[in-house]
Amino acid sequence: MKKLLNEFRVLNNLYKPDLKMKLTYILFFSTFLQIQANGYSQGTKVSLSFENESIEKVFEEVEASTNFKFLYNSNSININRKVTINVENKSLKLVLKRLFKGTNVKFTIVDRQVILRLFNKSKPQINKPVQSIKTSTSTITDQQTITGRVLDSYGDPIPGVNIIIKGTQQGAFTDFDGSYKIRAAVGDTLYFTGIGFIDQEIVVGMDTVYDVVMKYSTIVLDDVDILYTGYEKIPEERATGSFENVREKTLKRKTDQNILSKINGEVSGVLFNGDGTGRDIDRIIIRGLSSINANTSPLVVVNGFPIEGSINNINPNDIKSITILKDAAAASIWGIRATNGVIVVVTKNGKKSKSLSVDANVTTSFTPTINLTDNNLASADAQVDFYEGLFNAGIFDSDVLFSGALNQTSFEVVHPVIEALLLAQEGLITSQEAENRLDRLRRIDGRDEYTRLFVRPKIWNQYTIALSGGGENNDYRASLTYNGNKEDLLNDKSDQIIANITNNFDFNSKLHLRTNINTSFTKQRFSTSNPDLQSIQSSDVDPLGYLFQIPLNTQILDTNGNYLPTVGIGSNAQTSQLALDSGFLHPWEYNIKQEFDNHNSTARQTELRFQTALSYDISDALKAEVSYQYETSSGNANNIYNQERFVTRNLINLYTQRDADGTITSTPVPDGSIADFVETNLNSHTFRTQLNYDNDFKNGQHKVNGIIGYEARKVTVERRERRLFGYNSETLTNANPDFTTTYELAVFQDAEQIPNPSRDRFVENRFLSYYANLGYTYDDRYTITGSTRLDDTNLFGASKEFRNIPLYSLGVKWNIANENFFNLAAISDLQFRATYGTNGNVDTSTSPFLQAGFFQGNEVFTTNSAFVSTVPNPQLRLEKTRTTNLGLDITLWNGIVEANIDYYNKDSEDLLSFRALNATSGIRGSLLNVGNLTNRGIDTGLSLRLVSSENLNYTTKANFSYNRNEVTNAEVEDFDVSTFITGTGAIEGNALGTIYSFNYAGLDQNGRPQFIDETGEIVDFTTDITSTDALVKMGTEVPVYYGSWINDLSYKNWSLRTLTTFTAGHVFRNSDVFDPAASFGNTFRDFNNRWQQRGDENTTDVPAQISSFTDLFASGYQNYLSSDKFVDDASTIRLQEIILSYAFDAKTLKALKVDQLQLSLQANNVKVWNFNKWNIDPNNSLIQIQPRFTFSISTTF
């Protein structure tokens, strides 16, 4: 030890290299230490055996057997103290804790240095220099000798600090006792830098002595990862609950404009149901479904507060970490919103005492055009055969042909195949002409035309700039991001600007202010009706709608580019012309290109989230904090239907009034555009007061941390919907019709009121919460935690029995590796966790009071009326889930292997389940707290650091989860067959989402489908099966097994990362199949395998197409589509992500004058492997999800 101290003295006094050599040495030394820091300080093990020996001897042994060195002031630390210690392969940190237990010596590990100091000392005072005007230059004769000492915040000297006169090559080092001496002139700036400390500057004044106190920087390691619950920060070593953490390093490598998708596959226990993109919070399931009818999506918390607005308004580049709270001990602090798990997002801050830093990022993403032909739809040729079969079955009569009069029967456009055959049947064209028409139709596949007219590749461009830094008492960070999206359809696009500003300010050593402002502005344009609006009717055709609704054998435009009437919507050309000739104001045809060309649907959204917190350090251990969040969101959405849009033309024509001889008498719907407007406003206020306590006693042997607080929250949502008729966008005038009169409909023999969806909605929910959390750790071996929370809200019944229900959790943790008896050299860390507690869930759509809905009048009930939607429920209460979690964490060979496993059991009770009510109540049933549900599962994770060298590193990680739920009580009457088929009912003994099927028994000799009924007998296609006992249980549609495999490879400046996810244990029903009884739309490929003649039943199980009009109503054909034949394994393996990146080396960065520069190429949705008999993606069967390629450049300067 003495030799080490002497080395600092020799370095400064005897050997004096020039400044370039000194800077090179310091740079090399700093870089080397920082590279090696994690490897040494995290997992170094030592073996010691000393009996009544001086602690100095122990230091020397540690230094000889490790790469660590001890630094201390021999005047403060008693190195002659006798100690007895006998440890085998124990972590250095644990050994140090035992050496100094019961003393007033505190140690800090900085890279490979163990710095010892006394605590409970008064902090040293800084000699503040007299500021003066700095001269532009100084000569040797102007300089004077400046001396002083450099100390840490505990008053101990810091050796080896580098002091440079800014703008010169003149410098010095501090000695072993922290002293320094340098020649400098008045006005010169002295720049102090040291490993593990924040850089500091002072300006030389008239004084000649300057003592400097340097603060420890963030690279000071304490072997502790911090977990954030949203209410408090907990060291991972003291956390009993089940947490998963996605850190900044991982988040930074993944490029996406949605933060949730960055979680996908990174942790266990989190299922991204659906297509796996994770863009919809409602499709994310944490440890299984815990509710039957209420909300099942997790709570999202940003910087300590739940957010009510869209998570898409958070810039992923601003995110520092994401923590998932999975069990009761982790999440119960969030009370009635925690059953479905909690996702805690923490945004980035600046750094104190750091000069301005600029981060810039440019990203562009490309997704190829969707493929409308890569699916199971039958060919154009087969589509003609399909409609020929319908014609032969007598499904269409000749009266559908234009009759020369305005009537309902001959109003619509007839399928061209049916039209040709009917015209030939009526003798209006020859059979050869009809056959020629059919031959031409066999060569028309409209999917190519649709793709050319409407579809394009998806493009996403993002530009981000962030400024960060800080002074001695504050830090700041401000970012600005632009997202530009061009969607699949040509006119679909969005522009978004996100701004985020964070500022933390210390008024003094005790009073601190934290603020954050996040705002976003989004403008969208839609090619189909805005999903936020209630469209007049479904007249817009997106790609999926096109494949289902529009016959593939039809064209959209003629050879001259004119609109052609579309089959199935609107009138034929002859009827439209006749209507115009009869005095109707507008043509009556429909064409999807015409709709597309005249579409005017936009939305604007502005969101603001303001967070602030004022904290006061009452003592070193006790802190009081008052925090507040205000969140507001305002949106405006509109659909403007001009007079070229079918919905406008149709309504004006439809309500046109005629007298008995057909003369137009009035047009109740004013001529002009129709406009739908929606205004939404959301306001949320959250106020919180909290006390935080964190202290340790007897040199850390006893550690206590806790919080207690009160929270008030109010959320209001307003929605205003308006429809304006006769709207003029230039003058902003309108002329609404009479909505109370019932009018005879033109052409159609019916009578209705003019629809008026205008309505107002206001919802206010209020919450008062009281919460507390307490944790105690003994000797870094045993930890016990407990929490409780009480939520009171207007959503529950009036009785306190149902309103004031406290939720709680208890947890214990045993750090086995820190036990004296534990001597397994291979095991670096071993921890056991056990927790039990309750979480809650609430459905904001329910109420303890009567709720009513609005019903608009029609031709029978001509007046508007209200109806009861839910009956009063004074016993309405929260849904409660009791969770038990057992976990084991293990680290082998100093981090080469890391593994964890958790077993959990979740029992949910008082779930809202549908119960039938007495018919005299006037309502069929209501949601009551009568359901029970269990979830049992396992979460595991395994990480292997297979290669770790200077140039080559390779780590592989696997996550695996298992979850199975079961409805244990629903208290409902028997469900009907359709509920079993669709899996929408909560059936006792089943998992949620369990589907059933009819038991298919193949074909009879006439090609008709057969089934096995509840008695085991085969029944024909005319038999109506109503008993659920006849059904076959197929399984759940929710994955039971899921997980991921992550590979991380780096070589020098290159890195490659892959992410593969999988789901298994569930089923799906294939709906892309030939429907023998379908009379419209497009059919599928298995139509080619249908029964066509006697004997085919021996080689195919696909039924014959219907042969008569009455077959349309036979239940057997619908049962065929819902049979077990079309249910199969939904398991998939997805190559979800590949990221290749390159970080430029130091030489290049210096030449470019930047601190960091990185290029990244990312591919998402690369490949999917299916395991069903049709080899289709269960989640994207008709239109396959396309791969996405993203290129980004990021730099820091």
What's the DSSP call for residue 153? Answer: T
Residue 347 lies in a domain: no
Locate 650 and state its tokens: 């149709």
- Per residue in 230-239, pLDDT (tens digit) is 898 888 878 8
599 phi and psi, to 5 degrees?
A: -75, 135
Give pLDDT, residue 759: 87
Q: Please list the alpha-helical segments (H only) found in 371-498.
A: 380-392, 416-425, 431-442, 446-454
CB count within 10 Å of CB 899 equals: 15
What's the 3-state SS for 1053-1112? CEEEEEEEEEEECCEEECCCCCCCCCCCCCCEHHHHHECCCCCHHHCCCECCCCCCHHHH
Q: What is the CATH number of the domain that holds 19?
A: 2.60.40.1120
Give pLDDT, residue 169: 67
Give pLDDT, residue 750: 85
Residue 231 lies in a domain: no
- Per residue in 877-935, pLDDT (tens digit) is 888 899 999 999 999 987 889 999 999 999 999 888 877 666 666 666 777 878 899 99
568 phi and psi, to 5 degrees?
A: 100, -20
Give pLDDT, residue 227: 81
The Cα–Cα gap between 245 and 322 comes to 6
The Cα–Cα gap between 222 and 110 comes to 9
The Cα–Cα gap between 643 and 652 comes to 9
What's the 3-state SS for 824-862? CCCEEEEEEEEEEEEEEECCCCCCCCCEEEEECCCCCCC
pLDDT beneath 50: ranges in the chain: 1-42, 121-140, 218-224, 530-538, 857-862
**Helix (H), strand (E) counts: the chain:** 18, 55
Range of the domain at 73: 1-223
| Overall pTM > 0.85 | no
Locate 841 and state its tokens: 């869930």
Locate 136 and state its tokens: 């532009």
Residue 85 lies in a domain: yes
Residue 807 exposed, middle or buried by CB count within 10 Å (0-12, 13-18, 19+): buried
Residue 153 lies in a domain: yes
Burial of 77-91, coded b for 16+ CB within 10 Å and e otherwise, reads: bebeeebeeebeebb
Give pLDDT, residue 39: 38
Question: Between 55-65 and 92-99, two packed helices, what is the crossing angle to 10 degrees?
Answer: 170
Give pLDDT, residue 97: 78
What's the DSSP call for residue 311? Answer: G
546 phi and psi, to 5 degrees?
A: -60, -45
Locate 1149 and state its tokens: 């960065």
Count of domains for the chain = 1
What's the DSSP call for residue 660? Answer: T
Chain centroid, CA 660 distance in Å: 61
1124 phi and psi, to 5 degrees?
A: -65, -15
Strands (E), 527-672: 601-617, 622-641, 657-658, 664-666
For the four alpha carbons of 398, 399, 401 and 403, in that order, the dihedral sign comes to positive
Residue 1153 lies in a domain: no
Distances in whole angstroms, Cα of residue 652 to Cα of each of 503, 587, 1108: 57, 10, 38
DSSP string covering 599-622: --EEEEEEEEEEEEEEEEESSSSE
Residue 131 lies in a domain: yes
Residue 96 lies in a domain: yes
- Per residue in 446-500, pLDDT (tens digit) is 999 999 999 999 999 999 999 999 988 899 999 999 999 999 999 899 999 999 9
Give pLDDT, residue 1002: 95
By three-state DSSP, how is residue 417 classified?
A: helix
Residue 859 lies in a domain: no
Locate 643 and state its tokens: 């007079």
Give pLDDT, residue 922: 62
Q: Please list the alpha-helical segments (H only) found in 212-315.
A: 248-253
